[in-house]
Structure 1
Amino acid sequence: METIRRAVRPKWILLDADGVLQAPERPFVAALDQIAGEAARAWLADTFRGDGLVITGKREALPALEDFLHSVHAEADSREVYARLWERVTLHDDVFALVDSWRASGRRVALTTNQDPGRARYMRSVLNFDERFDRSYYSCDIGAGKPSARYFEHVLADLRIRPDEAVFIDDVETNVASARALGIEAHRWQHGDELTALARYVKASPDDSLIATPS
């Protein structure tokens, strides 16, 4: 006999920004390589790691970039480089359309993103990210970044929900694994993957019934 079990929708959808909702017009590594040479890759990895001073909001990215460019004797204006690489982004309108439809139907969606203070300000004031979500959680405001447990624990505590009441979407596997370790349903998804998969992950497909046939 066939039985029908309804998929339980999480109370909150937690969405990453870079790789999911937006992308830089020019990839950071390749673009900075052209300006600063082979040291760019290591500097980016160290400076923008989840537990670093920049991502946790203890230091602005612009002076860090200026110091780096000076150290490698790059003849480039740090403010122009920052604006060109960090502020020129492409918004993924197809994903934002899904977010708008989820919120219109009563779903609650939170932005969960690692950002330096300057880029967070830009996303808020110029790109109006905060208006597109029910809550926004920037690592630089929290003082902790993904994949640390502290970041996710802060989000859960602020939303007053249990881990099993959220679903988290991110394009970085270590962030996904960290969320799962805390009991959050988490999926790796990046723009370019099937939108139907994203909808399925957040239990937002038109027919989200799960049909099971006992053996």
Structure 2
Amino acid sequence: MTTIRHVLFDADGVLQEIRGGFYTSATPFLGERTREIMNLASERERPLLAGDDDFLPVLDDVLRQYEVDVRAADLFAAVWQNIAASAASLDLVRGLRDAGYAVHLGTNQVRRRADHMRAALPYDELFDVKLYSCDLGVAKPDAAFFQKAATRIGAEPASILFVDDHSPNVAGARSTGMTAVHWRIDDGHDVLLELLAEHGVAPDVGPGPDDDDAGAGAST
């Protein structure tokens, strides 16, 4: 059995959440049709995850379709950019680094949000390799995402453990030979520690208290 030496983390739902939640944060802008509009926006966003096209014109088209008098940039800022990082998750990542593991970021993001995350969150300093779908040209759960991730990391897939909150992404990672666990912040960090321990992975320092101010996000 290959020893796990790398831990690859998803972002939304694992390291960060949208404050108040994906739908709740959009409700002041969209009212009663929030869920319908945001679901369509997410559907239209998906093809852009693997490229450089700007999401704002697409979001603007959705808002015009529903005759909503809201600027796409304002909605994007209030929802997609309204990110709260989990202090406990970041502490766990640091603990893994202290224990000698290489730690990496593997996330589906449109270019605009990836740029915001790089500027607003400490991921560039925290992670050894940062893998955004818009940079890789392919998005999870496609097996090619994980194959490219292993190449960028410079390791065999069997030496990488992947953490994600979406089951299809976990299955995609496993299909390439990675070990993968399904977990989200709401499950609690003690549960994640147990999942990691099942594969012989343990940080030097346990996580701090869970963040309580962030709601469920809807990104992948």
How much has 1:182 moved relative to structure 2?
Answer: 1.4
1:91 aligns with 2:89: no
More helix by share: 2
How much has 1:198 moved relative to structure 2?
Answer: 1.7
Post-superposition CA distance 1:57-97 (Å, at most 9, x none) = 24211121112112211011111111000111111001101
How much has 1:33 moved relative to structure 2?
Answer: 5.8
1:204 aligns with 2:207: no
Q: Structure 1: which amino acid aligns with 2:119?
A: S
Post-superposition CA distance 1:104-163 (Å, at most 9, x none) = 222110000001111100110122321111110000111110000111110011122222
How well do the aligned residues superpose, as a CA RMSD in angstroms?
Answer: 2.0
Maintained 8 Å contact 2:97/2:203: no
Distance 1:166 1:94 in 2: 21
How does 1:11-90 map onto structure 2 within 5 Å? 11-32=5-26, 35-36=29-30, 37=33, 39-49=36-46, 52=47, 54-90=48-84
3-state SS in 1 of match to 2:80: helix
Return 5+ residue gaps in structure 1 as ranges.
1-6, 207-215
Post-superposition CA distance 1:19-53 (Å, at most 9, x none) = 0000001332344466442641441342233xx1x
How much has 1:9 moved relative to structure 2?
Answer: 4.2
2:146 maps to which of 133, 146, 152: 152
Identity percentage of aligned residues: 30
- Shift >2 Å, 4+ stretches: 26-39, 199-202
How does 1:45-194 map onto structure 2 within 5 Å? 45-49=42-46, 52=47, 54-194=48-188
What TM-score, normalized by structure 1, do the two folds share?
A: 0.84
How much has 1:205 moved relative to structure 2?
Answer: 6.0
Return 5+ residue gaps in structure 2 as ranges.
205-220
Query: Which 10-residue stretch deviates more, 196-205 or 130-139?
Result: 196-205
More strand by share: 1
What TM-score, normalized by structure 2, do the two folds share?
A: 0.82
Post-superposition CA distance 1:150-184 (Å, at most 9, x none) = 11110011122222110000000000011111111
How much has 1:55 moved relative to structure 2?
Answer: 0.7
Distance 1:26 1:201 in 2: 27
Give 1 or 2 for the bigger CA radius of gyration: 1
Distance 1:106 1:121 in 2: 29
Q: Structure 1: which amino acid aligns with 2:202?
A: A
CA spacing shift, 1:164–1:99, aligned 2, 3 Å: same
Distance 2:23 2:116 in 1: 21
Maintained 8 Å contact 1:196/1:205: no
Maintained 8 Å contact 1:33/1:40: no
3-state SS in 2 of match to 1:169: strand
